[in-house]
Structure 1
Amino acid sequence: MAAEAKIPVWLDCDPGHQDTFAILLSAYHPSLSLLGISTVHGNSSLSHTTYNATSILTAIGAPHIPVYPGASSGLTRPAVHADAIHGASGLDGTALLPVPAVPHLEEPAIDAMAAALLSTPKDTAWLIATGALTNIAHLFTSYPEVASHIRGLSIMGGSIGNHFTAAPLGKVDAKERIGNWSQWAEFNILVDPEAADFLFQHPVLNKKTTLIPLDVTHLVLATKNVQALLLDGKDGKQRTTLRVMLVELLTFFAKTYAEVFGITEGPPLHDPLAVAAVLDGFTGVQIPFRDFEHKGERERYAVRVVTEGSHGDAQAGAETGRTVVKLLPEGEEGVKIPRGLDISRFWSVLEDCLERADNVNKTKGAL
């Protein structure tokens, strides 16, 4: 990638504690150009996730990035929210979130996404999804030409299990599980399994999709050392209101993750990994992601989602929302699901982005 080139990205999200860091990374990585943000039901109601997105952008000094509200429920299912993990607002745990400097826009999210992505040169833009996949499914049904135009789709969602990685997936009631919202299913997939299955079965998209499941995100825990880095910076002297706010959000998320899932070392930071994956393969700026280390092969997968059953069935033990993967023969195209990444580089890059946000806030007198 040329030094001056930037990767155009659109972020579809449901803020959400981890989405805060996805927004930070996509807004401030020097090799990314954030075209806009669309919000979706998920961690909280659409009204909350939309407000949260505009508040986060204000907090990081980037209120100029446009925000468009999208779907308030699934393609065919009612909305389900994660109050037990994120609180009623979706961003419980801090009183430092500012009132948005710029409100969200009224243009339909799907139209805004399509216009922005189609305005980029072919095979350059990435669509990043860190919430329910409803907006993304609507986009490709309403504007099918976008599928062949974009470079890729990066999704945080799903869980593989069966020791796909060494990450702890957590326990509920002393029982090991694969999913984080049911025994088998990860939240983003379970709340709209039809949307997810549509995307994974899409004959164009499934060859340019990267999936970041819990098996990968649970390798990246915000330990006490990481929280100290984010609070005070690499030299230990960079504490700002923004940093305090972010660590307060992490502390709240850490508490709920420890209480619900028994993961006590620190909370996993799911969503920014879907942003980081966009950089993979770009020499000099990538945060390297890895396939199966022992074989050194280029792994690609066929992915489907179990759509039979209701949310209640899933809570009772059914496989509704489960992400089922099949390894494809070597050389065959399919969904990319990495098994690991350079974790220390990820945290270093995230801290660099936080430092850039601090510098912007400083110029505005907002520290």
Structure 2
Amino acid sequence: MSLILPKIPLWIDCDPGHDDAIGLLLGSGLDQYHLVGVSTVHGNASLGNTTSNAISILTAFKRLDVNVYPGAEKPLVRKLNVADSIHGRSGLDGTAFLPMPSFDAQPDHTAVAAMAKAIETYPGTLAIAALGPLTNIALLAMNYPDLLPSLRLLSIMGGGLGLGNWTKFAEFNIWCDAHAAQIVFSDTTLIPKTLLVPLNLTHQAIATDEILEQIQKSRQLDRRSVLRQMLYELMIYFAGTYKKKFGFKNGPPVHDAVAVAAILPFYSDNSTERSEHSNDPPAADLDLRFARYQVHVVEEGPQEGMLVFEPDSDNGIMIAQEMNFTEFWRLVLDAVDNVESSTSLLVS
């Protein structure tokens, strides 16, 4: 892959979360990324748990150089809800190999200011991957509107075209803070640089038994590393809850990691905007394809969190529609290899 930048400056805003862990894996382990910072938000668990989980994940990945900034502990308007039926009480249940946090979080409520500072530090180049409810991103848009033109890309995991998961109408991240999502999706500065990665695409990123075996078994070591066993056990737990709650039989979808990987084509030297009907050459190896829509969020009532789409090829949000998932999983396994190379602990 030929990139304009030696490293893509990347900020991850997340609520770990098992699939957030794989998103953080890509941000930490792929050579294409320079992980600038991580912010946390309510969502899969309480803010205290998502913050602790983010630091534990970075500890496991030996990324002690990346600061973690706590953000919003609740939605802008509605009450807090968490996804403990999917991610467990901690937000990251399922393994004894997740290390204790080895460094402290930054002070409370510093996430939005830290994201703003990152945009100033990397003008025109920073990508933000928003993997949880959009409360922090909405606050960024409201408090720092003058900086938004300097953001290169906002990649959001959320929503669905006629598809929900938390309700039959709505996906969890958007449902959690529909008011924040509406602020983000209606911001005229953010709209042209926003990529929405919906359930329609992420439901194709299934961590099958074959994939999990490749995650667990090292290509370099005869014995299992603690890192690989941790990731394997997290995915096995995630597979179990997804099967029980949603009926996924072949494995869990790693939603958030897709939104992190989808950033790569926008920094390749042949990246061009293409609809699903375009015959232009693919943008990078992921062959990401999207179409543009205006997006409206239902903010209250029984359909709260549902997205309403209207085609707008000139001024709409990019909605990701296709991706080469063989290449996606190659990137995940490459990231595991790269992170493993910095760790040496083996399962006894």
* Partner SS, residue 33 of structure 1: strand
After TM superposition, list the pairs within 5 Å mapping 1:1-367 onto structure 2: 2=3, 5-106=6-107, 108-120=110-122, 122-161=123-162, 178-234=163-219, 237=222, 239-283=224-268, 291-292=275-276, 299-309=291-301, 318-328=302-312, 330=313, 332-362=314-344
* Partner SS, residue 325 of structure 1: strand
Matches of 1:3 and 1:202, distance apart in 2: 28
- 8 Å contact kept, 1:279–1:285: no
* Partner SS, residue 202 of structure 1: coil
Q: 1:150 to 1:262 in 2, by over 3 A?
A: same
Q: Which digits, 9 at most, give the CA deviation of each residue in 1:41-88, with x for residues without a partner?
A: 000000000000000000111122100111000011111000111111
- 8 Å contact kept, 2:130–2:155: yes
TM-score in terms of structure 2 length = 0.91
Identity of aligned residues (%): 41
Q: CA deviation at 1:105?
A: 1.1
Q: 1:110 to 1:214 in 2, by over 3 A?
A: same
Q: What is aligned with 1:313? A: none
Matches of 2:65 and 2:298, distance apart in 1: 39
Structure 2, gaps ≥5 residues long: 281-288
* Partner SS, residue 360 of structure 1: coil
Matches of 1:236 and 1:220, distance apart in 2: 27
Q: Supply the RMSD in Å over aligned alpha carbons.
A: 2.2
Q: CA deviation at 1:236?
A: 8.2
Structure 1, gaps ≥5 residues long: 162-177, 310-317
* Partner SS, residue 44 of structure 1: coil
- 8 Å contact kept, 1:36–1:67: yes
Matches of 2:262 and 2:274, distance apart in 1: 10
Q: Which of structure 1's runs of 4+ aligned residues deviate more than 3 A? A: 1-4, 233-238, 281-286, 288-291, 293-298
Q: CA deviation at 1:95?
A: 1.0
Read off the aligned partner of 1:341 and give its amino acid letter: M
Matches of 1:158 and 1:145, distance apart in 2: 27
Read off the aligned partner of 1:55 and give its amino acid letter: S
- 8 Å contact kept, 1:289–1:341: no
Q: CA deviation at 1:293?
A: 5.1
Q: CA deviation at 1:299?
A: 2.1
Q: How many residues align?
A: 337
Q: CA deviation at 1:282?
A: 3.7
Q: What is aligned with 1:175? A: none
TM-score in terms of structure 1 length = 0.87
Matches of 1:238 and 1:142, distance apart in 2: 50
Q: Which digits, 9 at most, give the CA deviation of each residue in 1:163-220, with x for residues without a partner?
A: xxxxxxxxxxxxxxx2111110000000100100111111010111000011000011
Q: CA deviation at 1:4?
A: 5.9
Q: 1:42 to 1:101 in 2, by over 3 A?
A: same
Read off the aligned partner of 2:300 and give its amino acid letter: E
- 8 Å contact kept, 2:291–2:321: no
Q: CA deviation at 1:142?
A: 1.0
- 8 Å contact kept, 1:289–1:342: no
- 8 Å contact kept, 1:129–1:155: yes
- 8 Å contact kept, 1:219–1:340: no
Matches of 1:341 and 1:245, distance apart in 2: 27
Matches of 1:292 and 1:38, distance apart in 2: 33
Read off the aligned partner of 1:45 and give its amino acid letter: S
Q: 1:285 to 1:298 in 2, by over 3 A?
A: closer
Read off the aligned partner of 2:198 and give its amino acid letter: P
